[in-house]
């Protein structure tokens, strides 16, 4: 099969990070839109993208793109796609999600129904059967409509890629693994610099940082739906891709990654999660309030997801908490601080305007990533010859 196009969705506001990841894997970018990136590759791309990409929620195999303003146009355009190239006669297929933005066709249930009917009609003609048992591998479809432009993809990931497999226990308001990784990758932090998360919860930000430092691919310890697509992706491609990821791992490194939380029970959960991720030896977790955030070292990083106060009783405590955050920041000479929150009085309570503020949607919740950028450390002198 010739080169294919793939679509990877991401958090709104983090498209540039995902684009860089895809480039680093060696693939050409076709298009960048709000919340998703389209790129080109061969079928091995399904394996490598699922295993290596840290900031996407899934990898879709793009099968069609066309204009449609009526259900008749939608039906005929879907029917014209060569579905027999993707779906075997026993395939289990359904439209798992349909979304519509500024389009004349806006009913998700009707879109789902029409697309399924059109595919069935196409496959009936090709396979010469009137009934499909759908007892084989699963091929869930996703349909996007934007200004009457329709895009259809087959989901190769299955469970969302933020589910790395290490987080069994989590805090009340955990940040997703994909967003945590994107936050870290947005900063100039490197493995030889100190990183502290004073609201680490179940450890997601420190764990993602340690995995980045050790070059542990996020999908190394999980399975993907497309591993059953024998008609499209030979098992040898999966074996080679997992082997490639294993060879890149370097866990025998020194890091200074720390996670603090006021809740001792959640700290124990964070340690267990880090152990499952294979990075417990790279992180120091400790029960400690943010008011005790001190460090004599210079040029470190705070990357954190503090409480937002979604419940009324929690919201009342936020001004005091964010003032404590500001006092802690003031004591960290030359450090850089990055925090994501939906709390609107963040800058006023911290007592300092952020150098940069980036709007990010965490699910349906609008948040801001406040960036307080410290100075760069002096360049190390080269030893005399």
- The mean pLDDT value for 200-224 works out to 97
* Cα–Cα distances in angstroms (integers) from residue 164 to residues 51, 229, 299, in the given order: 10, 21, 30
What's the whole-number average pLDDT of the chain? 95
Encode 251-267: b = buried (16+ Cβ within 10 Å), e = exposed: eeeebbbbbbbebeebb
**Which two structure tokens, joined as six digits, stand for 224?**
């993907």
How is 136-147 classified by DSSP, letter by letter?
Answer: S-EEEEEEEEET
How many other CB atoms are found less than 10 A from the CB of residue 75?
16
Collapsed DSSP state (helix, strand, coil) of residue 339: strand
In this predicted structure, the answer to whether residue 38 has a pLDDT above a threshold of 60 is yes
The string of pLDDT tens digits covering residues 325-348 is 999 999 998 999 999 999 999 999
Of the candidates 56, 10, 61, the one whose C-alpha atom is nearest the C-alpha of residue 225 is 61
**Fold (CATH) for 4-155:** VC0802-like (3.30.2130)
pLDDT at 242: 98
CA 371 vs. chain centroid, Å, equals 20
Confidence band, pLDDT 50/70/90 cuts, at residue 171: low
Of the candidates 195, 189, 151, 155, the one whose C-alpha atom is nearest the C-alpha of residue 60 is 155
Collapsed DSSP state (helix, strand, coil) of residue 187: coil
Confidence band, pLDDT 50/70/90 cuts, at residue 312: low
The string of pLDDT tens digits covering residues 125-157 is 999 999 999 999 999 999 999 999 999 999 999
Backbone phi and psi for residue 101, each to the nearest 5 degrees, phi listed first: -130, 120
Residue whose entry in the numeric block shows the structure tokens 């997703």: 176
In this predicted structure, the answer to whether residue 381 has a pLDDT above a threshold of 90 is no
Collapsed DSSP state (helix, strand, coil) of residue 125: helix
Domain boundaries, the chain: 4-155, 177-216+251-372
Domain 177-216+251-372 annotated CATH 3.40.50.150 = yes
Separation CA 155–CA 140 (nearest Å): 6
**Which two structure tokens, joined as six digits, stand for 175?**
């940040």
Collapsed DSSP state (helix, strand, coil) of residue 227: helix
- The mean pLDDT value for 52-60 works out to 98
Confidence band, pLDDT 50/70/90 cuts, at residue 5: very high
Q: What is the pTM of this model?
A: 0.95
């Amino acid at each position: 099969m010739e080169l294919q196009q793939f679509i990877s969705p991401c958090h709104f506001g983090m498209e540039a990070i995902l684009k860089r990841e895809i480039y680093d894997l060696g693939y050409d970018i076709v298009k960048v839109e709000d919340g998703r990136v389209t790129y080109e590759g061969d079928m091995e791309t399904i394996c490598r993208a699922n295993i290596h990409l840290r900031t996407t929620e899934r990898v879709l195999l793009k099968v069609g793109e066309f204009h449609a303003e009526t259900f008749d146009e939608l039906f005929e355009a879907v029917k014209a796609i060569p579905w027999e190239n993707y779906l075997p006669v026993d395939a289990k297929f359904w439209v798992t999600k349909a979304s519509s933005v500024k389009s004349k066709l806006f009913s998700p249930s009707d879109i789902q129904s029409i697309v399924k009917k059109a595919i069935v009609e196409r496959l009936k003609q090709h396979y010469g059967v009137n009934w499909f048992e759908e007892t084989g591998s699963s091929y869930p479809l996703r349909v996007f409509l934007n200004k009457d432009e329709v895009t259809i993809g087959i989901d190769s990931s299955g469970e969302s890629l933020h589910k790395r497999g290490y987080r069994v226990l989590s805090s009340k308001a955990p940040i997703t693994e994909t967003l945590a990784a994107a936050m870290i990758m947005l900063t100039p932090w490197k493995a030889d610099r100190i990183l502290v998360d004073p609201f680490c919860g179940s450890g997601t930000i420190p764990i993602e940082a340690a995995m980045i430092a050790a070059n542990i691919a996020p999908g190394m310890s999980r399975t993907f739906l497309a591993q059953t697509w024998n008609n499209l992706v030979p098992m040898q491609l999966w074996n080679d891709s997992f082997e490639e990821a294993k060879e890149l791992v370097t866990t025998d490194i020194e890091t200074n990654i720390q996670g603090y939380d006021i809740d001792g029970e959640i700290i124990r959960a964070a340690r267990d999660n880090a152990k499952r991720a294979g990075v417990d030896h790279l992180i120091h977790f400790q029960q400690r309030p943010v008011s005790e955030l001190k460090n004599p070292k210079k040029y470190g990083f705070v990357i954190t997801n503090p409480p937002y106060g979604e419940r009324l009783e929690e919201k009342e405590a936020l001004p005091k908490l964010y003032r404590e955050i500001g006092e802690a920041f003031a004591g960290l000479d030359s450090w850089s601080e990055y925090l994501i929150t939906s709390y609107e009085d963040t800058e006023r309570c911290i007592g300092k305007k952020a150098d940069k503020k980036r709007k990010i949607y965490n699910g349906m919740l609008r948040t801001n990533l406040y960036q307080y950028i410290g100075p760069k450390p002096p360049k190390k002198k080269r030893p005399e010859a």
